[in-house]
Amino acid sequence: MKLKAINGFKDILPDQVLRWQQVEQTARDIFERFGMREIRMPILEKTELFFRSIGEATDIVEKEMYSFPDKGITMRPEATASLLRAFIEHGLHVQQPVQRLYTIGPMFRHERPQKGRLRQFHQMDVEVIGATEPQVDAELMAMGQMLLNALGLKVSLEINSLGCPDCRPAFRTRLIEYLKERKDDLCEDCRRRLSVNPLRTLDCKSRGCRALVQEAPSILDSLCSECNEHFAGVEHTLELLGVTYTKNRFMVRGLDYYTRTTFEFITGDLGAQAAVGAGGRYDGLIEQLGGPKLPGIGFAMGMERIVLLMEQQAESSIIKPAADIFVAALGDKAAEYGCVLVQNLRALQLKAAMDYSGRSLKAQMKQAGRINSRFTLIVGDNELTEGKAVLRNMQTQEQETFALDGTINEQAGRLFSTIIPTSIEVDGIKMK
Ligand SMILES: [Zn+2]
Ligand SMILES: [Zn+2]
């Protein structure tokens, strides 16, 4: 039997990794411009953490978690709960009243695998803890927008407010009343969760429910004055920052802990309308997890979807990194020399390669081409005795004699200075 990766788990092969690295590096760069600091948490957490944060009556906790019940532990299905657990455990708020944190890594959910959705998937997660001002909400959205733009992606931003513990219960009651009267038209899922999680009906994908909620009461009409003012502040700041958005009163969260601002970055380019990023405010969650009474807001972006979108939308193609120099050695003495030379070149931070199999010059030149080497140094046993080798520029096909004077280290240094000015020039052209 052939061994294969598990369904829903996927290898990311070297050519694809280039795209992933581009996403991660761009994200780190932009996050850090906004004062975010990286934090890394373990993948396994006590199952209890997700009961208490995500909520037991959610799809994630009910059916999607990879848990080891005998050990009481679970592979994290999302990052916020773990991050807040770490935040509370280490008392990070004592160091600095407002913490801006980000993390990048794999999450695990037992869902039906489909395009852009895997069972091990990767997220970039950002959280700002300790600030309640609407400017912070808008700034986070602007940051997400900046990142997606920097990656060459076209997405739209949708926002909503979910109110707070003061005003949401009243809305919830009104919504349940409305839905109960039309119970027969609800899909099976929505009927089941009518009393536990009625807000989910608002973003149910089934056609019947979608038609039915068009006339449902709007959460935006039910906000208390504080929530109203907060939401107006978010909108005002988005306008100041020139971030385009639309209000979507049907946007809710599958997670119980969200309050006030919620937002999503949406694309229509992955089949159905899909979110590449989603987030919101969770002002009661830290306290609910046994931490200090602090507000928080964050978002997560799905890296699989971003990479898929980039393949579809982005005009720039990935430039494969080239090796700087390939040493083609012919003969035993030359091979020994090449081995040491390559080591010295690498110590000088050059990407240097050679082939140890003793193949023909033609085969070795082919290999140099395959790794996209910019230069090849050709050296045989005879040349070694005569103290000279041939340096070939693989782009121009020009060849020059390279004198093997001095120690190997000195030779490496001279090769370095011959190659590097060209390298910078080449990279300069590629940058444009
Ligand atoms: Zn409120
Ligand atoms: Zn439904």
List domains and CATH numbers for the chain: 14-167+223-313 (3.30.930.10), 325-431 (3.40.50.800)
pLDDT digits (tens, 9 = 90+) for 254-300: 666 789 999 999 987 776 668 899 999 999 899 999 999 999 999 99
Ligand 2 center to residue 201 CA distance, Å? 5
Ligand 1 center to residue 101 CA distance, Å? 26
Q: Strands, DSSP E only, in 132-284?
A: 156-161, 246-247, 259-267, 274-281
Query: Can you tell me the distance from the alpha carbon of 238 to that of 233, in angstroms, rounded to the nearest whole number?
Result: 9
Ligand 1 center to residue 130 CA distance, Å? 18
Among all bound ligands, the one having the nearest atom to the CA of 207 is: 2
Ligand 1 center to residue 295 CA distance, Å? 14
For the cut 90, the answer to whether the pLDDT of residue 156 exceeds it is yes
pLDDT digits (tens, 9 = 90+) for 90-136: 999 998 889 999 999 999 999 888 776 799 999 999 999 999 999 99
Q: Helices marked H in 34-68 — which ranges? A: 47-53, 59
Ligand 2 center to residue 383 CA distance, Å? 78
For the cut 70, the answer to whether the pLDDT of residue 425 exceeds it is no
Among all bound ligands, the one having the nearest atom to the CA of 211 is: 2
Q: What percent of the chain has pLDDT over 70?
A: 94
Q: Over the range 409-430, which residues count as b (16 or more CB within 10 Å of their CB) and which as e?
A: eebbeebbebbeeebeeeeeee
Mean pLDDT of 312-321: 69
Tell me the whole-structure pTM to 2 decimals: 0.88
Ligand 1 center to residue 21 CA distance, Å? 41
Ligand 1 center to residue 386 CA distance, Å? 85
Query: What residues have their beta carbon closer than 5 A to ion ligand 2?
Result: 187, 190, 204, 206, 209
Query: What residues have their beta carbon closer than 5 A to ion ligand 1?
Result: 163-164, 166-167, 224, 227
Among all bound ligands, the one having the nearest atom to the CA of 229 is: 1
Burial of residue 97 (number of CB atoms within 10 Å: 0-12, 13-18, 19+): exposed
- The per-residue pLDDT for 143 is 98
Mean pLDDT of 40-67: 90
